[in-house]
Amino acid sequence: MLVNIQTQSKVITYAGCITQMYFFMVFLEVDNFLLTVMAYTVIMNPRFCGLLVLLCWILSVLHALLQSLMVLRLSFCTHVEIPHFFCELNQVIQLACSDTLLNDAVMYLVTVLLGGGPITSIIYSYSKIVSSIRAISSAQGKNKAFSTCASHLSMALLFYGTGLGVYFSPAAAQSSPSSATASVMYTVVTPLLNPFIYSLRNKDVKGALRRLFGGKL
C-alpha cells in the first residue's frame, strides 16, 4: 500500500504477488489458529499452550507454502487485473489461463478444515464456558465474564464469518466490490480491534499504561 501511494501505481510483479499472497496466508492462518488456542487457554497449562502456538506457526507456514507452490504451476496471461486490493488466493486462481480444478479443490478442502474446524471448536469451547459462568453466584461476576466472552466470540465470528463468506461465495460474487469489502473485515478491521479486545482488558497492560501516562485508565 505504501509503495502504491508513493509511486502512484497499482502495478505488482508476478513474484511480488506470489510473495504477498504467501505472507498473507501465513499470518491469516496464524490468526486463525491462535483464535482457536485462546478459546482453550483456561483449561490448558502454559507449556502446552506454547507448544500449540508453535504448531500454529508450523501449520501456517506449510499451508501457505503448499498453496503458493500450487499457484506457481498455473499459467497466466501477460497482463491481468486483480479486482481486489491485494493478491488474495481465490482472486489469483480465477485469473489463471490454465486448468484450476486441482487448485480449487485444495483451496475449498483446506478452507473447510482450517476454517470450519476451528470455528466449530471455538463455539463448543464457549458453550462450555457459558455453562460455567451460569454457575457463578455473583451477578457482577456473571456480567463481567459474559462481557469478556461476548467480545472475544464476536471477534471470532466476524473473522470467520467474513472469511468463509469470501471463499465459499460463487465466482461471480468473489469479483464484486462486496467481496473486497468483506475481505477488509477480516484483514483490517479484526486486527485493529484485537488489541482493544485482548490487551486493554488485561490487568498487566492496564497497569503498564497507568504507569506510562501517570493517570487513570
What are the structural domains, with CATH classification, of the chain?
Answer: 2-213 (1.20.1070.10)
**Distance between CA atoms of 122 and 172, rounded to whole angstroms?**
31
What mean pLDDT is reported for the chain? 81
Whole-number Å distance between alpha carbons of 42 and 151: 16
**What does the DSSP 8-state code read for residue 95?**
T
Mention every residue, 6+ apart, whose C-beta is less than 8 A from residue 79: none
How far apart CA 15 and CA 17 sit, in angstroms, is: 5
Give me the amino acid identity at 87.
C
Instruction: Give 61-112 pLDDT, tens digit per residue.
Output: 999 999 999 999 999 887 788 888 888 898 899 889 989 999 999 998 988 8
What pTM did the predictor assign?
0.77
